[in-house]
Amino acid sequence: MEGLTYAKHGQKKPLGQLAKINGKRAVAFLDKDKQVKSYTTIDEINDMFCTIDNVPEYNLDF
């Protein structure tokens, strides 16, 4: 599916559909009829990293 974003390292796992929701870039989750069921804006994802201190940290080599 065009616009579907995947984890870039390790196993290929879908993260969601890239979309613009109300004019903002987002990752959307669609049902089988391609209707948006939920979404998170990229700004919200960035804000999570700026406000959460205990984000797990991993050192990986793949």
Q: Is residue 41 part of a domain?
A: yes
Q: Is 49 left (phi over 0), alpha (psi -120 to 50) or beta?
A: alpha
Tens digit of pLDDT at every position of the chain (62 positions): 567 787 878 888 888 999 999 999 999 999 999 999 999 999 999 988 888 888 888 898 88
Counting the structural domains of the chain, the total is 1
Q: What is the pLDDT of residue 4?
A: 78
Q: Is residue 31 part of a domain?
A: yes
Q: 19 lies in which domain range?
A: 4-51
Three-state SS for 40? strand
String of DSSP letters for 13-24: -EEEEEEEETTE
Q: What is the pLDDT of residue 2?
A: 63
Strand 36-41's sheet: what is its strand order? 4-6, 14-21, 24-30, 36-41
Q: What global pTM score does this model have? A: 0.70
